[in-house]
Amino acid sequence: MRFAAFFRNVNFGHAGSSDKAQFVAAFNAVGAKHADSFLTHGNASFSATGADEAQVWVNEVCLRLRQVCAWDGVAYTRSMAYLAERVAADPFIAAPQDDISERCVTFLPDHLAGIPDIPIVVPRRDLEVFAVQAGEAYSVTRLVNGRPGNVNGLLERRLKIPLTTRNWNTVVRLVQRES
């Protein structure tokens, strides 16, 4: 089975982060098969026999990255089959459509207590979280004074846990590549 892992704070070559070769090598070292970095920093795809094995490997990759480069972050794992279902369902059909800069998905723990009430619209109107389900929050950002809203920061403050956010197009392109 194919899986994806989305890492927070992996910026290849920056202090406290691996380079791309170290990132992929960490997956290979723990036994993940056909591991590859995708598009931007901190996205990986790999093969595992099932979800439990995939999660164990990602946890081990996190430990290796901490040892190799003092990386301090989290990673969220999803099966490609699940991501393909989410892409096919198009969670952005119900999204606001006015002046959108980015469509984003924030990865949450699968079993999260205290899911925030939605919609969340910040006073600047540069950010709107319009859907939350187990595992993900969906949002749109708007440019206000040339800057988009920061959904990851907002949800981390509200939920008091580290998260990671991706542009929805990254997920769509990953699913297309893996199909």
Q: Does 115 have pLDDT greater than 80?
A: no
Residue 103 pairs with which residues in a beta bridge?
Answer: 140
Q: How many CB atoms lie within 10 A of CB 158?
A: 14
pLDDT of amino acid 37: 95
**Model confidence pLDDT, tens digit, residues 138-176:** 999 999 999 999 999 999 999 999 999 999 999 999 999
The CA distance from 129 to 36, in Å, is 30
13 vs 57, which has greater pLDDT?
57
Q: Looking at residues 66-81, what average pLDDT do you find?
A: 95
Torsion angle, alpha carbons of 78, 79, 85, 87, to 10: 60
pLDDT of amino acid 116: 76
Domain ranges of the chain: 2-83, 90-178
| pTM summary value | 0.94
CB 29 within 8 A of CB 164: no
As its CATH architecture, domain 2-83 has: 2-Layer Sandwich (3.30)
